[in-house]
Structure 1
Amino acid sequence: MTLPASPFARIAIACLALCGLGAALYGGWVNAQVEGDRGIAPLMVSTDINVGGIEVNVTADNPEEARQKGWQEAQRKAWEKLGGPDISDSQLQGLVSAIVIQHEETGPKRYVATLGVTFDRQRAAGYLGRSGETQRSAPILLLPVTVSAGTELMYEQANPWQRAWAEYQPGASRVDYVRPAGQAGESLLLTYGQTGRRSRNWWATILDQFGAADVLVPIAQLHYVYPGGPVEGRFVARHGPDDEYLGSFSLRANSPRELPAMLNRAVERFDEMFVKALADGTIRPDKTLGRSSGMMDRDIARLIEQSRAILAQAEAARNRAATEEENVADANAAQADAAAGGDAPSIINLFINFPTPDAASFEAGLNTVRGTPGVRGASIGSAAIGGTSVLSVTYEGTIEELVGALAQRGYNVQRAGNSLNISR
């Protein structure tokens, strides 16, 4: 290619080349701003009743029995924490939909863990004497801020404070949290600088984008005393486009390893603070943003609450009647077997562990185990997408027969005491 001889033409070509280079660099810079590990999608909100932070420390003859004993103790402690009435262990087991392992340590004969217990709201409501439904606020945008080492962090990169809020289950809370994932352009829009803006038009645009009517800003100020040492946290709650102060508290973790547990406690404290401010009328959407409170009339809400309570009590009565009928039928069958001189079939309880890299594998494994001949029941002990899930299984027969039945369904089965590890 021959360049034009005119010096003006050469200058024009050079300017165009520089502009093209600048556009390419700018495009790469913009892509760099939204790439990387920054998005944590919040867990799907469940309406079940979640009780976390239950600590157990039990011993038994082997690790499997110790874990089962620890889970039973956690269920009982969680039920007492809810103020539930005295019921049998079998009835309590029927109300539990999941056990969440927050932290556990196992030994040859000991099990030490911090667990969360999830109760099915519909089944537990009859015993608790309430439907469990609450009058909720209007949708409120949540902007968790971490302040540490002189920097303010929100969604620019994945961080423990954002993760604590993403993994929180606010199903029983009165606050309807809108929790952004912080992915792609959200990390550019939602920054700490946004909390200092006062422009109503700007806030209205953001709230419209997320379908929210108000904003809450929980701030975690973390101070690491020394590397690997204690972490001191001061937590401040702020609200609204005017950054109104709601309250604060302090917590301390003995080491960075205990930081996630401290942040989980802080999330629960913040929720209590927000719920109280909502009840006191402190949290109300700013009228200048053109939003209404979005809350139902109290008289209508009370009528709905009463009707739900009546339906829940009726359902609980039907469940109790059905249970009594099943118990009578089982007793009659046992008496018939005894009279006929026959041996009653053996029933065993055990745990089945299986890898669940995704939701599809979890669903497939659960359906396969439940469909195995002889399996009377299989409840979810622990669901860990991306890890190993645990099923609590009741089987009619021997453990050797169950191993054979699972092998026929295409599983590789390994026996570990009173539990099985299966994989394909």
Structure 2
Amino acid sequence: MQLVKKNLKALGALAALALGATGILYAQQEDPQNPRDFGFDVSANYEVTGITVDASGENAEDARRIAWTRAERVGWRMLWNRITGGHSNSAPNLSDESLSAIVTGIIVEEEQIGPTRYVARLGVMFDRARASRYLGVSGVIRRSPPMLVVPVQWIGSTPQGFEERTPWQNAWVRFRTGESPIDYVRASASGATPMLLTVGQTGRPGRGWWRFLLDSYGAADVVVPVVHLQYSYPGGPVVGRFVAYHGPDRTLITQFSLRVRSSDSLDQLLDAGVSRIDAAYAAALEDGRLRPDPSLNFEFGIDEDALEEALDQLDESVAQAPRTTVEAVNTEQATSTGRYTIQVVTPDANAVRSSEAAVRGTPGVRGASTSSLAVGGVSLMEVNYIGDLDTLASALAARGFTVQRGAGTLRISRAAPPESE
């Protein structure tokens, strides 16, 4: 589906003649494999789809104008029936000018353009605030807490998340959330997202790293919609098995299957899957199943007792050091500020935050930030320090780190806690 702005110029009748009566023409065409990330529709709109129109006119442009006007009228009656529950014939009779004022766009689902005929299946988007005046409703709906959505697509035995753009991601980009009670947080598939929101991450129950990710994207919880695509043969029927999960523990919300006769209709299959999953999440919100996991509601902290102990050890080591050595260090600190890249062993998410906090609290350090993150491996940290590398190594050792000196760099780690019997 494409969203066609009302003020787009209609295609000329000459182009319609060239296509012929059976040609299908799409306006505002974009590459479906690479839609623009800023194409999310986050406005509050009412949307009515599946309106079939068949109109004739003096030429192709006139036929389409008549069909779109007719779709607005039919869409208004359908919206009235859906929102108020009243019969569509009881909807207020609005003039074409009034309808034009509350319609924000036409959705072209399918269309065929001939020399003097226009056949299509359309959708109409109505501005919620303006339409509510005629509908007698406030236009306010209950919304869920922000939910980070991580779409996962399977083809055969190969899963894909944000590692590269997939048709399933594109379907969530196209989805308009104006009428959904779910406050979806849709990440842009650029920057660090492909490294952070991986397929493997959706199966990790550890709350610490999830809390870090949710804080980074401004969300309170996560939903993971999954689709398994099965192709009968190239260009043939496609079956999509959809599964909707919620939370780090992958609580099952719904599952179902859909089928289309041709792979050319894959977008329609996925769009229908998104709509049904959204409806399932909305039902779960209504009955209380879709609520933020309380175990995600915590903040990373610093062990204050350990920090005080480390500072006491540092003070004691400085007091016992020869005076000339201390004065030499102070002289160096007063004249030299260096920026060093050090390696930090980070076995888990807590190690990332606690290591940063401990390094920042080291005397002489004027700033520390993780420049390359590798949870379960070795991350890189940029450190601004008033002094040379040897002095920084001594200061970090005094903070309780195990320090290894390499060629122009340091590698630091914390001792692993003893295993319980």
Q: What's the TM-score once normalised by structure 2's chain length?
A: 0.58
Alignment of 1:10-409 (within 5 A): 40-83=37-80, 85-90=91-96, 91-290=98-297
Q: In the aligned structure 1, how far is the partner of 2:179 from the partner of 2:219?
A: 19
Find the aligned partners of 1:291 and 1:277 in 2 and give their Cα distance.
Answer: 24
CA distance in structure 1 between the partners assigned to 2:68 and 2:44 by the alignment = 22
Distance (whole Å) between structure 1 residues aligned to residue 52 and residue 228 of structure 2? 27
8 Å contact kept, 1:232–1:252 = yes
Partner amino acid for 1:201? G
Alpha-carbon offset, residue 41 of structure 1? 4.3
Match of 1:313 in 2: none
Aligned residue type for 2:262: S
Q: In 1, distance between residues paired with 2:297 and 2:75?
A: 42
CA offsets 1:366-403 (integer angstroms, 9 cap, x no match): xxxxxxxxxxxxxxxxxxxxxxxxxxxxxxxxxxxxxx
Provide structure 1 residue ranges, at least 5 long, that are not aligned to the other structure: 1-35, 293-424
Task: Tell me by how many angstroms 1:92 deviates.
Answer: 2.3
Q: 1:254 is matched by which residue type in structure 2? A: R
- Aligned residue pairs, count: 257
Amino acid at match of 1:88: L
Moved more, 87-96 or 182-191: 87-96
Deviations, residues 207-260 of structure 1 (Å, cap 9, x unaligned): 111111111111111111110111111111110110011111221122122111
The structure, 1 or 2, with the larger RCO (C-alpha pairs under 8 Å, 6+ apart) is 1
Mapped partners of 1:70, 1:291: distance in 2 = 55
Deviation at residue 44 of structure 1 after TM alignment:
4.2
| 8 Å contact from structure 1 (residues 41, 180) kept in 2 | no
CA RMSD of aligned residues (A): 2.1
Counterpart of 1:280, as a letter, is D
Shift of 1:37: 6.7
The verdict on how the C-alpha distance between 1:291 and 1:230 changes in structure 2, with shifts beyond 3 A counting, is: farther
What corresponds to 1:335 in structure 2?
none
Does the 8 Å contact 1:39/1:182 carry over to 2? no
Question: 1:83 is paired with a residue of what secondary structure?
Answer: helix
- Percent identity over the alignment is 44
**How far off is 1:159 after superposition?**
1.4
Deviation at 1:184, TM superposition (A): 2.2
- 1:42: how far off? 4.8
Could you tell me whether the CA contact under 8 Å between 2:41 and 2:175 is conserved in 1?
A: no
Closer, same or farther: CA 56–38 of 1 in aligned 2, 3 Å: closer
In the alignment, the residues of structure 1 paired with residue 298 and residue 37 of structure 2 have an alpha-carbon distance, to the nearest angstrom, of: 28
C-alpha distance in 2 between matches for 1:223 and 1:187: 24
Change (3 A) 1:124 1:285: same
**2: distance between equivalents of 1:63 and 1:252?**
34
Question: What is residue 390 of structure 1 aligned with on the other side?
Answer: none
Shift in Å, 1:56: 2.4
Gaps of 5+ in 2: 1-32, 82-90, 300-421
CA contact (8 A) 1:40 1:158 kept: no
Q: TM-score, normalised by structure 1?
A: 0.57
CA deviations 1:397-419 (Å, max 9, x no partner) are: xxxxxxxxxxxxxxxxxxxxxxx
